[in-house]
Structure 1
């Protein structure tokens, strides 16, 4: 970070209010989609909500935090693994029966029903090295979540759930989370880029149980957004240290055009420029450093396409394009011919 503090987006308060309305008034079992371009402030909003809405008192034990915040990763050969996902959520709840080998006398045991105690008390859980199925891990998470009165789950980088194997639809993971939210009576926030829209709005039932919060960039066509953008640039100008203090004021419109009003892109632009200056033995930045740090034309076109396409899909202007399953090539039995029809007729 080039700044010691956090820059607040002009619309951040509105996003925060909308999220808090979902927290306090949305029915249990709701999925809240928080989408926007990379660098729009999704992680900042998530961290703010974690610290102000769900964290319990400092005296509470680790196993009584009513919030699970987890990062969705593509840990399985580049694909999203729901087994790994539930394993990491289970670990955040403390997972006492696997660490201690028994539930007897633990604080969680006092909150559980006899059926839950029987399930979690099986010898299966006595060793961490035992290979566990996804179903077992999910069931254990549900039992512990009910015992600690879990209120919400935050999933960051949720667009990773779209990276699935050919034989599994990305919407399967979303349906699994929807059922989990309904069963536990909690709210699940999904923070992700516009790629998350691949699994959003895939069924009428999900639409009825979900809410969308769109974290928009600074709109270059709105005077108020342009003024707010230039105001934040002035804060950068004071904090970064240019050799010529009026550099950003002179080139504010150019920076806005290069970054499309996304301040995460502005931060990275200045960071790359800083690397250039330091490599040349200078502490102060020059406009030439920023020019060298800007994206190439093909990178700029990619960023523009992702932002404009994502915004259009949020507005319902572009339909969701179904992904065609790729067929596996190659011979299942080496040495044998693949089954194909021999040519026949006069031309054979």
Structure 2
């Protein structure tokens, strides 16, 4: 059995502690730091992105820097928490209070508060959900006072989507309202980091949209020259700090291979290199080889899952942004309805102030109100007014016989279909949905009549956006 020596373990731990300050991480760092310093009326920030992009690392980097740069030892600038999945039932708010108090219980100004809820803190987790309302209020009051006395600026919640689960009886809006209440009483910003599931929690209502902020932590798309350079820089930064000898120039020429193996996520790239270094050190090797990298590369099935999750999330973000912009522009073009207090002048009249209207003589004639005639009900059996067809009627209408022109081959493989378990495809021309069974490795959209309805399609299906077919779920 291979085992790491003490020297190899020290080398590996040093490499695992490396933080890559790449472009996207720096952008998230700058924006998050700015909001922590001055969040105005914001109560929560949603930081979402694909798995392995570096969300947890971003929270840790910002928290460590604020703690390191804080001159006052009685100030805890950032509180970094991670909601623990419950053993029984969904996540409870009471456990959130418990984590805050537990993280600050050694603070000099908080110790005296902990004594008031020491018996509740020591209670087994299974019994906490059965506590009375007074106990809940005590825990919340102590948690709020702990945040105030420690002068916490922000609470960073990794895997924040767990916090939104509530106790099963609360909606997402109610959970965000709860966080808003905590922020209002303590002036503490709550930053929730998690997968694209968090994206659905933004802009749920006008009030919460005003008090919320969001950051999209994107992966690298190497088809863009700027992002390709940034990703290659991250690869070089990691290779230069590998505790083994390696041909950096030769590896950098294969930047696309590294991008495909890591799905464009620096976090996945770092884990991949850590696995390769671990395997090499365990075998007593001294150089990082392509053979070891191939052996430790993430499995194709795992990469397919990561790629599909990332594409689906990116599509939802892009669609939400574009549709939101269109809807807002459409609302700007629609004039608002006049209220009773507004005076709408008639044609040929001149506007006048309300005081002058009192002095006008009573002989001034006002325009008669327009009364629409009341519709009459037709007699039973009477035909509705319509135009009768004239001329030859044997030729069917083009509307009923026209077929859609899209019958092209689709660049989706049988492996991709079996991986996600979805074989429904949406025609990019008329939006008709067909369940297509591949013939071999070839998928072709069949001949079909043009779809005539405007009802939105529902369910999981493959949709063409631009020149790429992506899985869409609605």
TM-score, normalising length from structure 2? Answer: 0.55
* Residue from 175, 182, 185 that aligns with 1:183: 185
Contact 1:269 1:294 in 2 (8 A): yes
Contact 2:176 2:208 in 1 (8 A): no
1:259 corresponds in structure 2 to: 262
Kindly provide the CA deviation profile for residues 33-55 of structure 1, in whole angstroms up to 9, marking residues without a partner as x: 12222332323332333244466
* Residue from 1, 4, 7 that aligns with 2:20: 7
1:74 corresponds in structure 2 to: 85
1:86 corresponds in structure 2 to: 97
Kindly provide the CA deviation profile for residues 90-125 of structure 1, in whole angstroms up to 9, marking residues without a partner as x: 2223242365x4xxxxxxxxxxxxxxxxxx5xxx76
**Largest Rg, 1 or 2:** 2
TM-score, normalising length from structure 1? Answer: 0.73
Q: Which runs of 5+ in 2 are unaligned?
A: 1-12, 324-474
1:31 equivalent to 2:33? Answer no
Higher mean alpha-carbon deviation, 205-214 vs 182-191, is at 182-191
Higher mean alpha-carbon deviation, 277-286 vs 249-258, is at 277-286
* Residue from 305, 308, 322 that aligns with 1:305: 308
Supply the distance in 2 between the matched residues of 1:92 and 1:228 (Cα, whole angstroms). 37
Give 1:265 shift.
0.7
Contact 2:246 2:288 in 1 (8 A): yes
Structure with the greater relative contact order (CA < 8 A, sep ≥ 6): 1 or 2?
1
Give 1:66 shift.
4.3
2:230 corresponds in structure 1 to: 228
Higher mean alpha-carbon deviation, 207-216 vs 271-280, is at 271-280
3-state secondary structure, aligned to 2:312: helix
1:17 equivalent to 2:30? Answer yes
RMSD: 3.0
Kindly provide the CA deviation profile for residues 246-280 of structure 1, in whole angstroms up to 9, marking residues without a partner as x: 44124221111221221111011122223433454
Give 1:17 shift.
2.7
Contact 1:69 1:153 in 2 (8 A): yes
Give 1:154 shift.
1.7
3-state secondary structure, aligned to 1:188: strand
- Residues paired across the two proteins, number: 295
Supply the distance in 2 between the matched residues of 1:82 and 1:48 (Cα, whole angstroms). 27
3-state secondary structure, aligned to 1:190: strand
3-state secondary structure, aligned to 2:241: helix
3-state secondary structure, aligned to 2:162: helix
Cα 1:304/1:176, change in 2 over 3 Å? same
2:112 corresponds in structure 1 to: 97
1:50 equivalent to 2:50? Answer no
Cα 1:48/1:209, change in 2 over 3 Å? same
Kindly provide the CA deviation profile for residues 277-332 of structure 1, in whole angstroms up to 9, marking residues without a partner as x: 3454423222122112222222111100111122223334499xxxxxxxxxxxxx
3-state secondary structure, aligned to 1:73: coil
Give 1:231 shift.
2.3
1:326 corresponds in structure 2 to: none
Supply the distance in 2 between the matched residues of 1:137 and 1:245 (Cα, whole angstroms). 55
